[in-house]
Structure 1
Amino acid sequence: MHPIKQKYDRKALPVSFDGRIEWRDTLQDVRDQGWCGASWVFSTSAVAADRLAIQSRGTEVYPLSMQNLLACNNRGQQGCNGGHLDRAWNYMRRFGVVNEECYPYISGRTGQVEKCKVPRRGNLATMKCRLINAAARSSQDTDKPQRKGLFRTPPAYRIAPFEDDIMNEILQHGPVQATMRVHPDFFLYRTGVYRYSGTNSQQRTGYHSVRIVGWGVDLSKRIPVKYWLVANSWGRQWGEDGYFRIVRGENESDIEKFAPQVSAGLRLVGCGSMANLNQKRPIEEDSSSDSSGEEEDDSQDEEMGEEEQLGENDREIQVEFAGQSPIVEDFHGIKSLLHQLFLKAHINLSGLTELIIQQNYIGSILQQCVDSDDSDGEEDGNAEDEVFGVTSVINLSHHKDVECVKEVKQYLLEKTQKKLVELFKNPSNQIGLLFNERFINIPPQVSVPLLENLCKEILEAKEAGKPFDFTHFILISKLHESTRKDPESKKKKAKGSDILWVNAEEEPISEIGEVLGEYSVRNESDSAVSGTWDEDDEQFDPKRRIVLITAAQLPDMLTKVKEFLQ
């Protein structure tokens, strides 16, 4: 995980900052991990809860379940004997956790990790959890949760191990997570600014995960000492009411060397928050509705039998999807989606997939939200892990020396008959290759929040100084065109109505942008892609269309897509 680059005015950073004062109503209390070496759990859940509360402006102040993360995130972790922060964040991002009241922490008393009680397909409703907002306890105490999905995070990111970068991150987004080396004298800390005394240097030391919530300068001594203000997880009776101060700017006890790894600067999300699409046949929830249109629909339903309304192969089911940032576990799913776009082209799809995953602060994958409560067993596979779509962008200019990008550029030049030569040659151009792939049976409406999120992330990355300041975008669209030559078909072709778009939202994009090339992929497609047709069926030729749009056209593109799908 590479550190992100930040752009900010260092001179504007305050001399001191105390999160306990700034976020007095939202900062998580200091907890006691007890007889369990679970600082990795405490710091992760507390930082996630802190940022949720801060970024929701106090509307969602929920302590998150540490026992849930400790007991259920058990792959590659050591429970009460330690754990990996990256795996903890991956679990929070992939599965999420319930709130503390729903699943209280008990391992501190037993020193043992109990069996996980939260099924990976469970949610707040199936767990019968209540949500009590810590900022408004009396009004939120209900048996029905205000949200259904578990508390999930976007992917974690790392910030550079520099004093000013850490300060700016805290100021802009909230507490950060850090790992420090614990020396024997740290256990004896009571007050003041901690600095390792150097005694017992031969004694074995370990590592401990904490939350940095602020900074300041200690003026009690002749020489001022800069410090970090840090929340520990050893209870209120330890240190300065559960907190400690440690020398800042000198990487004391490695607290700055192990660059703080923090939850992304976005609000935590539940399943379906980015793209919540319910595919189901409309039904009336209130039979007493006074809408004449609805009454007419009811009468039609009464006249039709069930088999007339839905054929044997046309039954509709309710499905919810959630947009998530790509991680390593999504590799094969993303690669399969890229294969359905490029087919037999000589392009290293593994390399492209790795680029998409490496820049996990840009783009989304589409996953199914599973709310079934018969979820104790995992023998039916990880349906929630399957990748149903990917929406992302790769900077072809920035990665011009990467072999798979060279292959993509060569492919684009061949298919556009060299129309992109000058665009690629101009060093001032930053060209992004857009990916908008998903399973063929997923409705196009799901693309709107995914594209909106992509545009937002591109803007944020650009402002953060990352290589996403695009001048142009290239999109390869999938379509099928009728092969009939009769007069009626020619009329349709003139109107453009002889084309079936695999992703319907790409039709208005094609109209806005400049079409640089269109070509058949019939010889590269199998029957699952090109279709098999009876003699009486209209024949369609599977094609690809390469469209170029400018960065200035991106907002208009989003507007047109929304209007088209409405």
Structure 2
Amino acid sequence: MSNKRNKDIVQQESESEEEQDSGSEKDSDFDSDGNYIGDKELQADFEGRNPEDCDFHGIKQLLRQLFLKSDVDLGGLAEIIISQNYVGSVVKQCLDNGQEDDDDDDDGSDGVFGITTVINITKRKDEKAIQQIRTLLTTLAEENANDKTKALVKKILSDDASQVGLVINERILNIPAAISVPLFSSLQSELEKAVRKNMPYTFQYLIWISKTYNTGEEASEVLFANQEEKPIVAEALGSFDVDVTEQADLSQWDYEGGALTPCRKVLIFDGSKFDHLVRLIKEEVESV
């Protein structure tokens, strides 16, 4: 199967040679996870492609950003994503023909900058990684959700007649939200094709885990790691927040003199609203 390419070009200024030669300054531009956090602008060109075997390690690393130290077989989850590569995309850097030829011997494990897909966690409920995710969701709901949302989580995970999709929308820091528009548009088309082939991608419910940061103030502001996800919260049937400070390698970041606490916001949607959620994402990106 040939790779699809949904290009989203990021135009940014390159570092000067003087800045590149400054080793100590360069080191300070990266956090403990290797994510670039400096304020220098780089020029890069990204595109969406079908997940492949060579993307395994890169996908697994992105999943670790989302699930942190949770008891989830991230390697098994990465394999599931690759096995259903007719649904979903990885974000990779565009390379010219010469570079692609030169990289033929490389496993490509470090070249995955994002992943956007959806997994049927009802149909695949007997697979180890999915069992662990279902257990995690149940536990997190019991510990953090209100009674109504607890009941909803229990209902949708216990009823095998209801197909539940887990949306994964993860990318490294500093990849602009604009990349999400072609990725979700592609996902829409792929889901429609899969459904026409009678594949199990008609979802009654969707579960979406967003990475957020809490300012810790009395009227705290919630910041989204993926800004495009902010407007979809109002459409959720239920939601709850999970403080992951103890799991994160960096528990707090400065924010206008204060600090940010890393959290996860678990959102549950009516599956029929997926197209509407994608429209909201597109509107949010275009409004920035």
Q: Is 1:541 equivalent to 2:274 in the alignment?
A: no
CA contact (8 A) 2:164 2:204 kept: yes
Amino acid at match of 1:402: E
Give the 3-state SS of the residue equivalent to 1:276 in structure 2. Answer: strand
Aligned partners of 2:58 and 2:109 also within 8 Å: no
Among 141, 147, 153, which residue is 1:416 paired with?
A: 141
Partner AA of 2:166 in structure 1: L
SS at match of 1:321: strand
Offset of residue 370 of structure 1: 2.3
Query: 2:191 pairs with 458, 470, 478, which one?
Result: 458
Q: Write out per-residue CA displacement over residues 219-277 of structure 1, whole angstroms, 9 at most, x where no aligned residue.
A: xxxxxxxxxxxxxxxxxxxxxxxxxxxxxxxxxxxxxxxxxxxxxxxxxx5xxx40322
> Aligned letter for 2:274?
L
Residue in 2 that maps onto 1:100: none
Alpha-carbon distance in structure 2 between the residues aligned to 1:463 and 1:379: 35
What amino acid is the match of 1:348?
Answer: D
Partner of 1:7: none
1:407 to 132, 136, 152: 132
Name the counterpart of 1:5.
none
Per the alignment, residue 275 of structure 1 pairs with 7
- 2:8 touches 2:182 (CA, 8 Å); kept in 1? no
Equivalent residue for 2:244, pick from 513, 518, 521:
521
Listed one character per residue, the Cα deviations across residues 263-313 of structure 1 (whole Å, up to 9, x for unaligned) are: xxxxxx5xxx403222225xxxxxxxxxxxxxxxxxxxxxxxxx9xxxx95
- Does the Cα contact within 8 Å between 1:368 and 1:383 map onto a contact in 2? no
2:166 is paired with a residue of what secondary structure?
Answer: strand
Q: 1:448 to 1:520 in 2, by over 3 A?
A: same
Separation in structure 1 between the aligned mates of residue 39 and residue 158 of structure 2, nearest angstrom: 51
Deviation at 1:547, TM superposition (A): 0.4
- Aligned partner of 1:469 in structure 2 is 202
1:426 positional shift: 2.1
**1:330-345 pair list within 5 angstroms:** 330-345=55-70
> 1:376 and 1:547, CA in 2 relative to 1: closer, same or farther beyond 3 A?
closer
3-state SS of 2:6 partner: coil
| TM-fit CA distance, 1:390 | 0.5
Deviations 1:64-87 (A, max 9, x none): xxxxxxxxxxxxxxxxxxxxxxxx
Deviation at 1:384, TM superposition (A): 9.4
Q: Return the letter of the residue paired with 1:321.
A: F
Specify the alignment match of 2:233 in structure 1: 510
| CA shift for structure 1 position 532 | 4.4
In the TM superposition, what whole-angstrom CA distance separates every residue of 1:29-77 from its partner, at most 9, and x where no partner exists? xxxxxxxxxxxxxxxxxxxxxxxxxxxxxxxxxxxxxxxxxxxxxxxxx
User: Secondary structure in 2 aligned to 1:397?
Assistant: coil
Any residues of structure 2 matched to 1:141-290 within 5 Å, and which? 153-154=2-3, 273-280=5-12
Alpha carbons of 1:377 and 1:397: their partners in 2 closer, same or farther (altered >3 Å)? closer
Aligned to 2:30: none
| 1:318-342 deviations in Å (ceiling 9; x for gaps) | 2111111111111111011111111
Matches of 2:244 and 2:109 in 1, distance apart? Answer: 32
**CA–CA separation in structure 2 for the residues paired with 1:551 and 1:532:** 34
Is the partner of 2:7 in helix, strand or coil? coil
1:557 to 257, 277, 281: 277
For residue 316 of structure 1, report the CA deviation from its aligned partner.
Answer: 2.3
Structure 1 residue 500 and structure 2 residue 232: aligned?
A: no
In structure 2, C-alpha distance between the alignment counterparts of 1:415 and 1:361, rounded to whole Å: 31
TM-score relative to the length of structure 2: 0.81
Q: More helix per residue: 1 or 2? A: 2
Partner Cα separation in structure 2 for residue 466 and residue 445 of structure 1: 29
Q: Which amino acid aligns with 1:513?
A: A
Residue 392 of structure 1: how far off its partner (Å): 0.8
1:499 and 1:380, CA in 2 relative to 1: closer, same or farther beyond 3 A?
farther
The CA distance in 2 between the partners of 1:321 and 1:526, in whole Å, is: 27
Structure 2: unaligned runs, 5 residues or longer:
14-18, 20-25, 27-37, 143-149
1:321 counterpart = 2:66? no
Instruction: Quote the residue 2:146 is aligned against.
Output: none
Give matches, 1:50-69, under 5 Å.
Answer: none
Cα 1:555/1:561, change in 2 over 3 Å: same
By how many angstroms is 1:383 displaced?
Answer: 6.9
The Cα of 1:375 is off from its aligned counterpart by 8.2
Q: 1:523 to 1:403 in 2, by over 3 A?
A: same
Aligned length: 256
Change in 2 beyond 3 A, CA 1:452/1:378: closer
Task: Map residues 345-494 of structure 1 onto 2, 5 A cutoff.
Answer: 345-371=70-96, 386-417=111-142, 418-419=150-151, 420-485=153-218, 490=219, 493=220
Shift in alpha-carbon separation, 1:325–1:483, aligned structure 2, 3 A: same
- What is aligned with 1:99? none
8 A Cα contact 1:325 1:363, kept in partner: yes
Partners of 2:160 and 2:105 in 1: CA distance? 51
Distance 2:166 2:217 in 1: 33
Change (3 A) 1:562 1:397: same
Rounded to whole Å, the distance in 2 between the matches of 1:407 and 1:456 is: 29
Is the 1:484–1:539 contact (alpha carbons within 8 Å) kept by the matching residues of 2?
Answer: no
Task: Kindly state the Cα deviation for residue 381 of structure 1 after the two structures are TM-superposed.
Answer: 6.5
Quick one: structure 1 residues 318 and 564, their matched pair in 2 at CA, closer, same or farther if it must change by over 3 Å? same
Q: SS of the residue aligned with 2:183?
A: helix
> What amino acid maps onto 2:207 in structure 1?
I
Rate the CA distance shift 1:433–1:379 in 2: closer, same or farther, 3 A: closer
Report the alpha carbon displacement of residue 317 of structure 1 after superposing the two structures with TM. 2.8
Contact preservation (8 Å) 2:244, 2:263: yes
Distance apart, 1:369 and its partner CA: 0.6
* Counterparts of 2:108 and 2:84, CA distance in 1: 24
* Residue 380 of structure 1: how far off its partner (Å): 12
- 1 or 2, which has the higher strand percentage? 2
Larger RCO, structure (CA 8 Å, separation 6 or more): 2
Tell me, in whole angstroms, the C-alpha distance in 2 between the residues paired with 1:382 and 1:319: 21
